[in-house]
């Protein structure tokens, strides 16, 4: 049987680096540190090697589908599948950024939501039974969903919402932002928050779909690692990257047969709908 393997996206620094660091110590298999820059990823791997750890590296730009396909093909050939996928790569504009909101909306959603979705669509077919997937989201999605209009919020929380519907809503937000009408159309005034609503709702749908898959015991969760000291937070967060890695790593290492936490699609049960509306994030 092929050796087990874990992939962490956007892992040359920050929370992704912390997750790789922890998995190298706790995961029984090879751990791949991936990112856009070969130089930065190799430097990160070298730092981890100084701790006696043995991460591996593979190029991956989640905005470039060709690199995603190359990673998939490599994993199929060398490992015949994937056991762990942590979708950590993403971007956020600083609060003081002078980039127009229209551009922020377009670029943030393109990477955080559509890029992550492309990674999932490409790699999910080679997930092995008992695989674990963690989509890094944010409590910003919880804040953002409350800032949406009742109509928009209800669409995101539809019990039978589909991936295509989520894609359409996120694209509608981007299009509205291009002409400064996103708030008029009921969307929150936050590109980062809207992108993470997409990621979290996507997670519920993915688990619903996986529940009908022939492969056994594949679990997909979304989580917020907390406010961590990273470049993205301008190093203002109270948590270290090691502390930020705790929740994602816990979810990655869930034992076989785990029933909770396990992202659930909305089953139509009123209690489940209220839970989703209240938290949106595990």
Dist. CA 213–CA 110, nearest whole Å:
28
Q: How many CB atoms lie within 10 A of CB 55?
A: 23
- Indicate the angle between helix axes 163-178 and 101-109, nearest 10 degrees: 160
- Residue-wise pLDDT tens digits, 47-95: 999 999 999 999 999 999 999 999 999 999 999 999 999 999 999 998 8
Return the pLDDT at 251. 95
Domain residue limits at 262: 5-279
Confidence tier at 238 by pLDDT (50, 70, 90): low
Return the pLDDT at 235. 54
Dist. CA 195–CA 202, nearest whole Å:
11
**What is the number of structural domains in the chain?**
1
- Contact in structure between 222 and 200 (CB atoms under 8 Å): yes
Return the pLDDT at 241. 79
- Residue-wise pLDDT tens digits, 172-213: 999 999 999 999 999 999 999 999 999 999 999 999 999 999
Residues 6+ apart with CB under 8 A from 186: 148, 149, 151, 152
Confidence tier at 240 by pLDDT (50, 70, 90): confident
The answer, yes or no, to whether residue 269 has pLDDT greater than 80, is: no
Return the pLDDT at 268. 32
| C-alpha separations of 9 from 37, 40, 80, 90, 264 in Å | 12, 13, 19, 9, 23
Percent of the chain with pLDDT over 70: 88
The answer, yes or no, to whether residue 40 has pLDDT greater than 70, is: yes
Return the pLDDT at 96. 84
Q: For strand 5-8 and strand 219-223, is the pairing parallel, antiparallel, or unpaired?
A: unpaired
Return the pLDDT at 203. 96
Return the pLDDT at 236. 59
What does 59-103 look like in DSSP terms, one character per residue? E--TT-HHHHHHHHHHHHHHHSSEEEEEE-------TT--S-HHH
Active centre residues (catalytic):
192
CA-based end-to-end distance of the chain: 33
Q: For strand 5-8 and strand 56-59, is the pairing parallel, antiparallel, or unpaired?
A: unpaired
- Residue-wise pLDDT tens digits, 125-177: 999 999 999 999 988 899 999 999 999 999 999 989 999 999 999 999 999 99
Return the pLDDT at 228. 58
CATH (domain of 45): 3.40.50.720
Confidence tier at 282 by pLDDT (50, 70, 90): very low
User: At 4, phi and psi to the nearest 5?
Assistant: -70, 155
Dist. CA 192–CA 93, nearest whole Å:
8
- Residue-wise pLDDT tens digits, 213-230: 999 999 999 998 865 565
pTM of the model: 0.90
- Contact in structure between 220 and 210 (CB atoms under 8 Å): yes
């Amino acid at each position: 049987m092929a050796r087990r393997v874990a992939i962490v996206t956007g892992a040359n620094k920050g929370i992704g680096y912390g997750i790789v660091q922890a998995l190298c110590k706790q995961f029984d298999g090879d751990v791949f540190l991936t990112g856009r820059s070969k130089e930065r990823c190799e430097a990160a791997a070298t730092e981890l090697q100084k701790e006696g750890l043995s991460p591996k590296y593979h190029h991956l730009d989640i905005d470039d589908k060709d690199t995603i396909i190359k990673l998939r093909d490599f994993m199929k050939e060398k490992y015949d599948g994937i056991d762990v996928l942590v979708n950590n790569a993403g971007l956020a504009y600083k609060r003081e950024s002078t980039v127009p909101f229209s551009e922020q909306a377009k670029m943030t959603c393109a990477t955080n939501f559509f890029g992550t979705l492309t990674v999932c669509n490409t790699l999910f077919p080679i997930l092995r039974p008992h695989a674990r997937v963690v989509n890094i989201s944010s409590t910003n999605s919880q804040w953002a969903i409350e800032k949406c209009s009742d109509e928009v919020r209800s669409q995101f929380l539809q019990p039978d919402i589909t991936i295509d519907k989520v894609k359409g809503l996120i694209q509608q937000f981007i299009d509205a932002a291009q002409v400064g009408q996103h708030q008029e159309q009921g969307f929150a005034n936050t590109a980062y928050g809207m992108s993470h609503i997409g990621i979290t709702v996507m997670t519920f749908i993915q688990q619903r779909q996986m529940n009908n898959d022939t492969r056994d015991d594949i679990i997909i969760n979304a989580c917020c690692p907390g406010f961590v000291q990273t470049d993205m937070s301008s190093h203002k967060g109270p948590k270290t990257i090691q502390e930020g890695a705790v929740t994602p790593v816990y979810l990655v290492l869930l034992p076989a047969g785990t029933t909770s936490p396990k992202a659930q699609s909305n089953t139509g049960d009123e209690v489940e709908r209220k839970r989703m509306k209240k938290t949106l994030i595990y």
